Amino acid sequence: MMQQMNEQQKARLASLAKSFERRKKVGEHLSKIKHRIGVYSAKGGVGKTTVAVNLALALARRGARVGLLDADIDCPNADKVLGMSRRPEFRDGALYPGERAGVKLISTASFQEKEDEAQIWRGPIISNTLNQFLEMTEWGDLDYLIVDMPPGTSDSPLTVMQSLQMEAFIAVTTPQDLAVLDTKRSINMIKKMNIDVLGIVENMSGGVFGTGGGERVAKEMGIPFLGRLELAKEFGEMGEDVAVLKHEKVRKAYDRIIDAFEKELAKLPPPPVIPPQMGAPIQMSPKRE
């Protein structure tokens, strides 16, 4: 029995040492990033990726140093929207992102043999993949790391929130009632994690989807409404013709959103620099004032 306990103790110590090294490495990488902003909704299909990519491009056009992490591990699309053809480079045990138009990108899409390949992974594998990205990626000095979040409120978004020690989130919704309901769920999860919500963006606004859902949920939940993006062809263009790079109308819409969220970001205290505890329990403390 004593020998068995000793073996268990050794295994636990080895696990703790490995966890410490992981936290240290992630912390070193995070120390070079000024702001870590997630683009999130529990509802799939509301345009998180389109918003995240164009937001990153708009920030880069304003002179910011920007990275984009596609954290939707099983259905990655950020590379398609961005029109990224250059794969990350692996050198000396580190991963160096590809770059287009001033935006550095890391996505699992770059490592798939076939773009329509299904990633049939359970939660622990997805979490481990996200953690490996965080440990290995050399972003360099960044003003913003924009994180294209996976949908839902379980393993994948939880891993990102805990591991990346996110500073704040932008919630994305479309005007329909079901999307608004899931946006509320997203916001409630963020609040339970004691992370700030900079505001809400209403995507695909107008036409058959109507308008006003984003403003309504912002008012109900007491958070800022950052702006709306039209349900129009030019707002959804991607690849070589990705919206912000091609259309002035789209650029102006994203510039207004950036002005609004930077105003809210300036109200927050400086982000913590202590590396996160991987797998730490959910923080249920009250939201920061």
289 residues of the chain, pLDDT tens digit each: 445 557 777 777 766 666 666 666 666 767 889 999 999 988 888 999 999 999 999 999 999 999 999 988 777 888 889 998 778 888 888 889 999 999 999 987 766 666 666 666 666 777 777 777 788 889 999 999 999 998 877 777 887 887 778 899 999 999 999 999 999 999 999 999 899 999 999 999 988 888 999 999 999 999 999 999 999 999 989 888 899 999 999 999 999 999 999 999 999 887 655 444 444 433 433 444 4
3-state DSSP call for residue 68?
Answer: strand
pLDDT of residue 121: 63
Confirm if 149 and 39 have CB atoms less than 8 A apart.
yes
C-alpha dihedral sign at 193, 151, 167, 172:
negative
Of the chain, the end-to-end C-alpha distance in Å amounts to 51
Confirm if 66 and 142 have CB atoms less than 8 A apart.
yes
Q: 22-112+120-265 in CATH: which number?
A: 3.40.50.300
* Cα distance between residue 191 and residue 286, in whole Å: 8
* Cα distance between residue 261 and residue 246, in whole Å: 23
Beta strands in the chain (DSSP E): 33-40, 66-70, 89-91, 94-96, 98-100, 103-106, 142-148, 168-173, 196-205, 225-230
Residue ranges per structural domain of the chain: 22-112+120-265
pTM exceeds 0.75, yes or no:
yes
